[in-house]
Amino acid sequence: MQSDQPKPEHRRAPEMQDRILELHAAAMREMSDPRDGMRPTPVAFLICCLLFTMWGGYYIGANAGDWTGDGLAEQANRAPAGPAAPQNPMVLGAEVYNACTQCHQADGKGLAGQFPPLAGSEFVTGDERRLAAILLNGINGDFHVNGQIYNSQMPAWKDVYNDEEIAAVATYIRASFGNKAGPVAKTIVEAVRKQVGAAGAWSEAGLAEFAAGK
Amino acid sequence: MSATSDSRGEVVSRIEVDRSAEWVVTVYWASALLWLTVATLAGLISSIKLHSPGFLGNIEWLTFGRIRPVHWDTAVYGFGGTAASGTLLWLQARLCQTRIPFPTLLIAGGVVFNVGILLGSIGVLMGKSTGVETLEFPLWAMPLLVIPYVFIVIANFKMYFNRRNAHTYVSQWYLMAVTIWFPVLVLSAEACTNLGAVDGVAQAIANWWYGHNVVGLFATPTGIAAAYYLIPKVIGKPVHSYHLSLLGFWSNAIFYNWAGTHHLTGGPLPAWTITIGVVGSMMMFIPVITIGINHHMTMVGSFHHLKTSPTLRFAVMGSMVYTLSSFQGALESLRSHQEITHFTHYTIGHVHFGMYGFFAPLMFAMMYYAMPRLTGNEWISARLIRIHFWCTLGGMLLYTLAMCYAGIRQGLMMNDPTVPFLNIVKFTIPYLWIRTAAGLILLAGTVAFLINFWRIVQPHRLRFVTPTLMTTERDYDMLLKKEKELSQ
Amino acid sequence: MLLKKLGLSLGVFLTIAASVTGLVIIPNWQFQGHQPMRKADGTQYPLPYFGEQAKGRAVYIDQGCIYCHSQQVRMKGYGADIRRNWGTRRSVPRDYMYHRPHQLGTMRTGPDLASIGHRQPSATWHALHLYDPRITSPGSNMPRFNYLFTEMRDGDALPVGAFPGDVIKIPPQFQNSGITQLVPNERGKALIEYLKALNQSFPLPEAQQ
């Protein structure tokens, strides 16, 4: 390289003869085209490559499921974990509540005119069976909360969460956002599920009927 | 002039090749830089929109879901496609010592290619995207991209079969491979996705088989070919080992193809397809280490040249990042790694590490090396080269580190169901700001290069007689002033 | 002689032919036997999208939702997709048998949408969220899609073709420059229909692994 060149100067384009050389100064000064060195490949490296390839074969064999189009688990014995130890309902409830924040918001205040609040709502802090019934089956249509009318759709959670999770989230919302009602036992959810689990979403009237007919 | 061992014949052949390449390659590289600027701007807009969603918020044409694919497509096809095509033509001509055939047709092809990308991007902005990632351009724009590439394939084969020396150099293998891979890749991917040969999950696999291979079988081999040429060429030493070149080439060709499914780890794919993708990616350690040894061992003992040569500096940066980003990519494919980083900004960080840390610098190195030979001018400003280099390196590192760190944290939070999703979004916002800053730095580098490029393609009455090195001081205004004095 | 001349090209071609066969053609062939299943209510799952839903899917593609939202739920114990309530079970190839183009997506700047219609069936919620994501999800960085809605001030007449039931009230604290109500336009309505139809809750047997 020309790192030791003197300070560059400008040169005026010379007349025809020199001009061709001048134009190609870069092409003339460059090194010859690259050649191949012929160092041998280290044998240890080749052995490593071979071993590594064997690992690849082993990994495919061990993790390819059953090679079918519907064999999605890479190992047939990838058993789901056993039943989890019971959790603190307030912790589990907070986790489940993440699914509710879309509408009822993280602060439990809902969205004015659209999604009812949980904070200070009689439906939350009142009858435990009625709360469980709402959580399990959801709500459809006009609905009054604290004197305000709402018209929206609450999804049914019965296929998504088990009794423990529903009880936990009920317990959580009854004790959060300033609410101060007691916990909901898993057995209550279990009983309500048995009673009305097959029904569709509640209407306001239907829910009142259910609550009244203890 | 410093010592070169060439016969006069070789020099004449070089000059002949460069004359035939002058316009063709300049057209391709100039479009590459313009598209790089467009892609960077589109990327910046997308980046700003992610932390400030109100930015240009009411314009449907510029909604995130449209400007983001335009960013990637103009980067891959606009910058990548044209930069790689220029590189391919010049390198193959030089190594075969033949003129570039039918230059007029190739220039026309380059123009059509540019029109294709422009129309395709406008199509996406208008909402005509096909919805298949990396193949978003509406179908009617694709012939404009494919037909010009056919000319390049034919030109490449013609040069290869008319080569003057029987021995083929390793760069030539990679260039031949690119011209075969890329058309097969595009046509089969279009057939499997937008033309509807397969549906559903098989289509998703085809999509990511393509999405990964467009980087792996197009950008990567071109970048490796450039590094294999430039590093030994500039320092004037033979490449470390022919045997390693051979091993690296074929292991790369065999394994890289199969890696695409790691983009869908955990998804509704048969386990065996993902497992093969994981192994294909992990096996990449073999070619990457092999190619790494070849590049880095060639450099050993010549690192002092990095101080002066802009070409070498970009080329070595590219080859070093190639090693690093390939290691990162191989490990990233593992299921335990994907469980955390899949679906996060980590992947985005990795893509930019590879594209802007490996591929782009090697294309810049090619331009820094070849443009003085093609135009007969030297680079006008060493300072602009320095700005370009440090902005590229700094912006790329900032980008990669911020996104990869944010991605890991984001993935860990996402796998903890007690963390509300919106808290994760809020956590990433500061890193998205850093990304915008990094994008601005990269843009500054691109603009510096653009200015230098614009000046070197101008005809000058005055010429520098020595190469422009990183350590020299060159002032364009002085040159202009002297030209003015002379004309009086 | 010819083989020597073309050996490199041929070898290179074979590598790519092998991978497209192995990764695309063979899995596609394995999926050929997939059939929809009959639900308890007599309808089938999966069904191709048609009518409003198909139109909505086109809007989903045109707006590029895929760049921030995936549509694939990972298995239990791998990530927290199911515990985050993004689905009741993992996604399987049969869920996607009619999807063209596929919209699996590989980014979760926003949550997964494979079953958004199951966990959020309310059209009102979707409308408010699409109009301005910050109404329902404070801190979200999703773009607004206000051009999918007709904005109405108090006393404005209904847009042509809209029913009184389509009008959605904006919560008072988010009302700006007198705009108090929304009506989704044709594209907005279709997109909401599509989002409500995204539902992978039907328990396909192969999803139990």
Which token pair is C84? 């985050």
Chains that touch A (3 or more CB pairs under 8 A): B, C
CB C91 within 8 A of CB B264: no
Q: Which of C23, C100, C142 sits opposite B53 (nearest CB)?
A: C142
Which token pair is B10? 């070789």
ipTM field: 0.94
Q: Do C106 and B65 touch (CB under 8 A)?
A: no
CB A69 within 8 A of CB B270: yes
Q: Which of B49, B69, B196 sits opposite C143 (nearest CB)?
A: B49
Q: Which residues of B touch C147 (CB under 8 A)?
A: 58, 60
Which residues 55-114 of C are in CB contact (within 8 Å) with A? 75-77, 83-85, 88, 90, 92-94
Q: Which of A5, A10, A60 sits opposite B479 (nearest CB)?
A: A10
Q: Do B180 and C13 touch (CB under 8 A)?
A: yes
Whether the ω angle into residue C101 lies within 30 degrees of 0, i.e. cis, is: yes
Q: Which of B169, B238, B464 sits opposite A8 (nearest CB)?
A: B464
Domain B14-457 has CATH 1.20.210.10: yes
Instruction: Note the pLDDT of residue C155.
Output: 83
Nearest partner of A99 among C198, C88, C66, C105, judged by Cα: C88
Mutation target to probe the C interface, by most C beta carbons within 10 A, among A74, A75, A111, A159 is A111
Instruction: Note the pLDDT of residue A79.
Output: 52
Q: Which residues of B touch A71 (CB under 8 A)?
A: 270-272
Which residue does chain A place closest to B232, by CA atoms? A34
Q: Which one-letter amino acid corresponds to residue C14?
A: L
Instruction: Note the pLDDT of residue A1.
Output: 41
Instruction: Note the pLDDT of residue C120.
Output: 92
- Domain ranges (residues) in chain B: 14-457
Q: Do C67 and B268 touch (CB under 8 A)?
A: no
Q: Do C83 and A70 touch (CB under 8 A)?
A: no
Q: Do B242 and A91 touch (CB under 8 A)?
A: no
Instruction: Note the pLDDT of residue B2.
Output: 38
- Domain ranges (residues) in chain C: 43-208
Supply the angle between the helices B170-192 and B220-235 in degrees, to the nearest 10.
170
pLDDT below 70 — which residues of chain A?
Answer: 1-23, 76-85, 214
* Burial class for B395, CB neighbours closer than 10 Å (0-12, 13-18, 19+): buried
Q: Do C145 and B63 touch (CB under 8 A)?
A: yes
Residue in the structure block whose two tokens are 């007919």: A213
Q: Do B243 and A67 touch (CB under 8 A)?
A: no
Q: Do B426 and C95 touch (CB under 8 A)?
A: no
pLDDT below 70 — which residues of chain C?
Answer: 1-2, 209
DSSP string of B447-476, one letter each residue: HHHHHHHHHHTS--SEEESS---TT----H
What domains lie within chain A, and their CATH numbers?
A: 89-212 (1.10.760.10)
| Vertex A118 angle, CA A113 and A123, to 5° | 100
Q: Which residues of B touch A36 (CB under 8 A)?
A: 169-170, 238-239, 241-242, 245
> Distance of CA B89 to CAs A58, A198, B23, B213, Å?
42, 70, 12, 21
Instruction: Note the pLDDT of residue B256.
Output: 94
CB B292 within 8 A of CB B280: no
Which residue does chain A place closest to C128, by CA atoms? A114
CB contact C11 to B (< 8 Å) = yes
Phi, psi angles (nearest 5°) of residue C179: -80, 115
Distance from CA of A80 to the nearest CA of C (A): 7
Q: Do C65 and B133 touch (CB under 8 A)?
A: no
Nearest partner of B319 among B239, B250, B400, B378, judged by Cα: B239
Domain C43-208 class, CATH top level: mainly alpha
d(CA A149, CA A113): 7
Which residue does chain B place closest to C60, by CA atoms? B131
Phi, psi angles (nearest 5°) of residue C81: -55, -45
> Distance of CA A104 to CAs A100, A119, A184, B76, Å?
6, 9, 20, 44
Instruction: Give the H or E element holding residue A143.
Output: strand A139-145
* Burial class for B46, CB neighbours closer than 10 Å (0-12, 13-18, 19+): buried
pLDDT below 70 — which residues of chain B?
Answer: 1-7, 475-476
Distance from CA of B369 to the nearest CA of C (A): 28
